[in-house]
Amino acid sequence: MVRLDATHDLLTRSWVTSANGHTDFPIQNLPIGVFSSADDPRLRGGVAIGDEVLDVSAAVRAGLFTGDALHAATVAGQSTLNAFLAIPSAERVAFRARVFALLADGASERSRCEPLLRHASECVMHLPVTVGDYTDFYAGIHHAMNVGKLFRPDQPLLPNYKHVPIGYHGRSSSIVVSGTDVRRPSGQRKAPADAAPTFGPCRNLDFELELGVWVGAGNAQGTSVAIGAAEEQVAGFCLLNDWSARDIQSWEYQPLGPFLAKSFATSVSAWIVTPEALAPFRIPQPARPDGDPAPLPYLMDAADQQSGALDVELEVLLLTAGARAQQQPPVRISLSNAQHLYWTVAQLIAHHTSNGCNLRPGDLLGTGTISAPTPDGLGSLLEMTQSGRTPIDVGGETRTFLMDGDEVIVRARARRDGYATIGFGDVRGIVYSTTNS
Ligand code: CA
């Protein structure tokens, strides 16, 4: 159980003034990422605070960390954060408490910390983790239902859905950090009416709104993570866009599932939001509707059911090339919430390891597309446009699927009375094409 402590105190302010206003990164958040800066091209770990980034490795060299916090800070300052993700949660908590103390109003170390801040606009964010394995689940039940209705009106949910957390093994090599442009993939496309497939640029390019989970220490092959111990394996969260080529997907996916329709790119947000930062926003897993089966015992834990879900607002915005040229803002096309997941993150981890499969530090889990039950909260264009049949309005333009030049932006915010609102930063990417056919 992640506990609330002084680092969640709403009234604490930071001497970094930008952290006290409208920001994703108040002092109660303190996410970790990997950055380089205009004055130092080396990749190193940093903590976001308001509009600034605290150089953790420089803070270690300056002697600002000791004890449990020193080891955590040392690995948090590295150019890739796998070792940080692997530390026990108690060390992560100690690190958080120390950074909170350094950045809080009245900190005696302020003058030593100030030179270690870099303005975010002078920083380039990098993929924070060397991702060994990436698994994408399908835990958003409204998405599963909506997609099922499109292709199987008589049986939207397959019989296994409410018993087994569905997932597939994704591709880690093509995971990119927010801000990376994404090339429109080519592949085999065949509409049902076509006599034969053709090869060419994807015509039905889509996004998927997901939460990403960064795995902690992991487990040895041949062992399983019990549901009650799964929470300790969650070291962080991010936003994830599972770019999807629907025309390629619909032709290739049977019988073994997604392949080239998904493997060309997956975008993640740059900042690792810790379980500690999200502690105030944990909620009970919503009760299953009457008639739904209870999870099997290996997926059932009373504490997890009591606080294993997350109340995090998720929004998708679209900025078309035309709107960008006219300096228009992006248009919000969806507002969903992480509480619409049918399985908790702990259940996903318990299931993933139930066969003895080993997870390793920095493995990435996608939750699956998180659609709300309402039409204004759908997590993909596939759902919003009924597979391209009903275009949506995007600030005066229409879209069925993504056009070249479109930028997809996913943001998230967690809010609760009595606590500071925290955000995730964003995950964004512009679609480009190298061909005209
Ligand atoms: Ca997905």
Sheet with strand 117-119: strands edge to edge: 117-119, 52-55, 40-49, 32-37, 123-126
Tens of pLDDT, residues 10-53: 999 999 999 999 999 999 999 999 999 999 999 999 999 999 99
Predicted local confidence at residue 192, as pLDDT: 85
77 Cα–ligand 1 center, Å: 31
pLDDT greater than 70 at residue 352: yes
404 Cα–ligand 1 center, Å: 21
Q: Can you tell me the distance from the alpha carbon of 253 to that of 262, in angstroms, rounded to the nearest whole number?
A: 10
Tens of pLDDT, residues 268-321: 999 999 999 999 999 999 999 999 999 999 999 999 999 999 999 999 999 999
266 Cα–ligand 1 center, Å: 9
Give the mean pLDDT of 135-162: 95
Which positions ≥6 away from 335 have C-beta within 8 Å? 313, 314, 315, 372, 376, 377
pLDDT greater than 50 at residue 6: yes
Mean predicted lDDT score pLDDT of the chain: 97
Predicted local confidence at residue 347, as pLDDT: 98
366 Cα–ligand 1 center, Å: 7
138 Cα–ligand 1 center, Å: 7
Give the mean pLDDT of 108-116: 98
217 Cα–ligand 1 center, Å: 24
Tens of pLDDT, residues 113-137: 999 999 999 999 999 999 999 999 9
Please confirm, yes or no, whether 143 is among the known catalytic residues: yes
Q: Can you tell me the distance from the alpha carbon of 274 to that of 2, in angstroms, rounded to the nearest whole number?
A: 10
| Domains identified in the chain and CATH numbers | 6-126 (2.30.30.230), 134-432 (3.90.850.10)
Helix (H, G, I), strand (E, B) or coil at 351: helix
Q: Can you tell me the distance from the alpha carbon of 370 to that of 338, in angstroms, rounded to the nearest whole number?
A: 7
pLDDT greater than 90 at residue 3: no
pLDDT greater than 70 at residue 156: yes
Residue linked to tokens 């596939």: 382
5 Cα–ligand 1 center, Å: 35
The token pair at 395 is 């600030």
Predicted local confidence at residue 435, as pLDDT: 67
370 Cα–ligand 1 center, Å: 9
Give the mean pLDDT of 318-329: 98
Q: Is the pTM of this model over 0.85?
A: yes
Task: Select from 43, 6, 15, 8 the least CA-distant residue to 112.
Answer: 15
Q: Can you tell me the distance from the alpha carbon of 100 to that of 27, in angstroms, rounded to the nearest whole number?
A: 6
Predicted local confidence at residue 1, as pLDDT: 62
357 Cα–ligand 1 center, Å: 21
pLDDT greater than 60 at residue 437: no
pLDDT greater than 50 at residue 392: yes
Residue linked to tokens 């960390």: 65
Per-residue exposure over 268-300, b if at least 16 CB sit within 10 Å of its own CB, e if not = bbbbbbbbbbbbbbbeebeeeeeeeeebeeebe
pLDDT greater than 70 at residue 431: yes
CB 359 within 8 A of CB 218: yes
Which one from 22, 119, 143, 163 is the annotated catalytic residue? 143
Strand-pair partners of 431 = 182
Phi, psi of 269 (to 5 degrees): -70, 155
pLDDT greater than 60 at residue 436: no
341 Cα–ligand 1 center, Å: 13
12 Cα–ligand 1 center, Å: 38
Predicted local confidence at residue 91, as pLDDT: 97
Give the mean pLDDT of 257-264: 96
390 Cα–ligand 1 center, Å: 22
